[in-house]
C-alpha cells in the first residue's frame, strides 16, 4: 500500500469577510457531499486518505477519474442491511458498514446503481464478495448520507499525489458536521404570514453556517411570554404537507398543530428540513416503492441502507432557544422525540397527544409506527 496522502493545509482564515476556520470546514464538507452528488470523486483524509465515488451517481467519466486516483482495487462500502441482501446472508448485528469486493463487470455505472438501490433494475452479474473495510469507512458512508445519496460508495486508498483539483475533506470534519451545522443556525429573515387557522402567525427562517437549506419556525402569538407554550416539532413532508398524500398523517398533523396552537393562544411549529425522517425526498419515494412491494416503513428504510430515523433534533433546540422558548408542552405521539429534545437541553414539561385517525390508506403505516416505533396512538 502506498503511503497515505498528508492532509492539505487549511485555507487561510478570512475573518475579514465574516468567514472563520469553522465555517470553512463546514463548507468543505458541504462541497464534498455536493461533488459526490454530481458524480465526481473526492478525497477523505483520515487514518489514511481514501478516494471516494458515490455508487448512485457514478458515470463513466467519474469512474475513470476515480481509478486514476486509486492506488489499489476498490471496495464498495454499504450499510449492513443492503450488503446482507446482496450476499444473501443475515446482516452483521455489530457492523456499521460492510465492504464488498467487486469484479470488473460490477464496476460499471448501471451495475453500481443496482448494487446501491434495491428499487433499480437489478443487473445480473457475478456476485460481490466480502472484503475488509478500510479505516473511516463509516465516515465515508456518512458523507454520502449528508448528500442525501444512497449509502453506497466506492472507496480505495489514494495515490500519493492526486491532482489539486480533487476536493479533499477531513474525516473529523465530516463527523463534526451535523452538530456544528445545528449549533451555527441563525435567524436570517422573518415576516408576518397570516394563516387560515392562525392569523397572528409569523415565519422565521434559520440558515446554517454552511449556507445550506434553511429550517423554519412558524411562530403563533408571543410564545416567549408563556411559561411553557405548546410546541410541535414537525419534519417537512412534501407529499403530505403540500400534496395532501394519504400515505402518511403528516399533512393532517401539521394543519392540526397550527389550529391547536392558535386555539391555545401562543406557540411554535418548528419545521425541520428533514424529509422522510432525514433520508430526503428521493429516498422517501424509493422507500414508498419498497412499501408497495410489501415492506413496512421501517424495513423499507433499512433496505435502502438508512437507519429507521436519521433525524437530529438539535436544530429544533437551537431554534427554540433563539426564539426565547426554553420550556415547552410538546405536541407529539413519539416518546423518542421527548427524550431527544430533553437531551438537547429543552425542558419538556408535558406531552400533548396529537393523534390523527387513519384514513383507510395509511392504516398499515400508522400501525407500524405504533407497534415498532412505540408511537402513542391510542
Confidence band of 95 (pLDDT split at 50, 70, 90)? confident
Specify the DSSP element, H or E, that contains 239: none
Q: Is 172 exposed, middle or buried (0-12, 13-18, 19+ CB in 10 A)?
A: middle
Q: Is 311 a catalytic residue?
A: yes
- For residue 266, the SS3 value is coil
Structural contact between residues 346 and 233, judged by C-beta atoms closer than 8 angstroms: no
Beta-strand relationship, 75-78 and 98-101: antiparallel
Confidence band of 291 (pLDDT split at 50, 70, 90)? very high
CATH of 184-274+311-373, one of 1.10.10.10, 3.40.50.1370, 3.30.70.360, 3.40.50.10990: 3.40.50.10990
Q: How do the domains of the chain map onto residue ranges? A: 15-176, 184-274+311-373
Q: What's the pLDDT at 369?
A: 85
What does the mean pLDDT of the chain come to?
90
Q: Considering only residues 6 and 77, tell me which one the structure prediction assigns the higher pLDDT.
A: 77
* pLDDT digits 0-9 by tens, 210-223: 888 999 999 999 99
Does residue 1 register a pLDDT over 80?
no
Which one of the listed residues 38, 309, 329, 364 is annotated catalytic? 309
Does residue 339 register a pLDDT over 70?
yes
Q: What's the pLDDT at 125?
A: 64
Q: Is 309 a catalytic residue?
A: yes
Q: What's the pLDDT at 8?
A: 30
Q: What's the pLDDT at 211?
A: 81
Does residue 165 register a pLDDT over 50?
yes
Q: What's the pLDDT at 19?
A: 54
The cell numbers describing 98, all together, are: 460492510
Does residue 16 register a pLDDT over 50?
no
Q: Where are the alpha helices (DSSP H) in the chain?
A: 21-37, 60-69, 80-87, 109-116, 137-146, 171-183, 250-264, 275-278, 281-292, 297-303, 314-322, 335-343, 363-373
Q: What's the pLDDT at 17?
A: 46
* pLDDT digits 0-9 by tens, 237-272: 999 999 999 999 999 999 999 999 999 999 999 999
CATH for the stretch 15-176 = 3.90.870.10
Which one of the listed residues 89, 259, 311, 371 is annotated catalytic? 311
**CA angle, corner 127, sides to 126 and 133, nearest 5?**
135
Structural contact between residues 57 and 148, judged by C-beta atoms closer than 8 angstroms: no
* CA torsion, ordered 294, 78, 211, 7, to nearest 10 deg: 180
Q: Is 357 exposed, middle or buried (0-12, 13-18, 19+ CB in 10 A)?
A: exposed
Does residue 93 register a pLDDT over 70?
no
Average pLDDT of 293-300?
92
φ, ψ of residue 203 to 5 degrees: the values are: -115, 125
Q: What's the pLDDT at 3?
A: 31
pTM of the model: 0.89
Angle between helices 171-183 and 137-146 (to 10 degrees): 40
Amino acid at each position: 500500500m502506498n503511503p497515505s496522502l498528508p492532509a492539505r493545509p487549511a485555507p487561510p482564515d478570512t475573518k475579514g469577510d465574516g468567514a472563520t476556520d469553522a465555517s470553512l470546514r463546514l463548507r468543505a464538507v458541504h462541497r464534498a457531499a455536493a461533488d459526490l452528488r454530481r458524480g465526481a470523486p473526492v478525497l477523505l483524509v483520515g487514518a489514511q486518505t481514501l478516494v471516494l465515488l458515490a455508487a448512485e451517481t457514478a458515470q463513466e467519466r467519474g469512474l475513470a477519474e476515480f481509478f486514476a486516483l486509486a492506488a489499489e482495487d476498490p471496495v464498495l462500502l454499504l450499510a449492513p442491511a443492503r450488503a446482507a441482501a446482496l450476499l444473501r446472508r443475515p446482516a452483521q448485528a455489530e457492523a456499521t458498514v460492510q465492504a464488498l469486493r467487486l469484479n470488473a463487470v460490477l464496476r460499471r455505472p448501471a451495475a453500481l446503481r443496482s448494487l446501491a438501490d434495491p428499487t433499480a433494475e437489478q443487473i445480473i452479474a457475478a456476485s460481490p464478495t466480502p472484503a475488509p473495510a478500510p479505516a473511516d469507512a463509516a465516515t465515508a458512508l456518512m458523507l454520502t448520507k449528508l448528500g442525501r445519496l444512497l449509502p453506497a460508495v466506492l472507496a480505495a486508498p489514494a495515490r500519493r499525489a492526486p491532482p489539486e483539483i480533487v476536493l479533499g475533506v477531513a474525516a473529523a470534519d465530516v463527523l463534526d458536521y451535523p452538530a456544528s451545522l445545528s449549533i451555527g443556525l441563525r435567524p436570517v429573515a422573518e415576516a408576518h404570514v397570516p394563516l387560515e387557522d392562525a392569523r397572528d402567525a409569523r415565519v422565521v427562517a434559520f440558515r446554517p453556517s454552511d449556507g445550506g437549506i434553511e429550517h423554519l419556525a412558524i411562530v403563533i402569538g408571543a410564545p416567549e411570554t408563556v411559561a411553557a407554550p405548546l410546541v410541535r416539532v414537525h419534519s417537512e413532508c412534501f407529499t403530505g404537507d403540500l400534496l395532501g398524500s394519504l400515505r402518511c398523517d403528516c399533512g393532517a398533523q401539521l394543519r392540526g398543530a397550527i389550529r391547536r396552537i392558535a386555539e391555545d393562544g401562543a406557540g411554535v411549529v418548528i419545521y425541520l428540513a428533514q424529509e422522510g425522517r432525514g433520508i430526503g425526498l428521493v429516498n422517501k419515494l424509493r422507500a414508498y416503492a419498497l412499501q408497495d412491494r410489501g415492506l413496512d416503513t421501517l424495513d423499507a428504510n433499512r433496505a435502502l441502507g438508512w437507519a429507521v430515523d436519521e433525524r437530529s433534533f438539535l436544530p429544533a433546540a437551537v431554534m427554540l432557544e433563539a426564539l426565547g422558548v426554553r420550556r415547552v408542552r410538546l405536541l407529539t405521539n413519539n416518546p423518542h422525540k421527548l427524550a431527544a429534545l430533553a437531551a438537547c437541553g429543552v425542558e419538556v414539561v408535558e406531552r400533548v397527544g396529537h393523534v390523527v385517525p387513519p384514513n383507510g390508506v395509511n392504516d398499515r403505516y400508522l400501525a407500524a409506527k405504533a407497534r415498532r416505533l412505540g408511537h402513542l396512538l391510542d
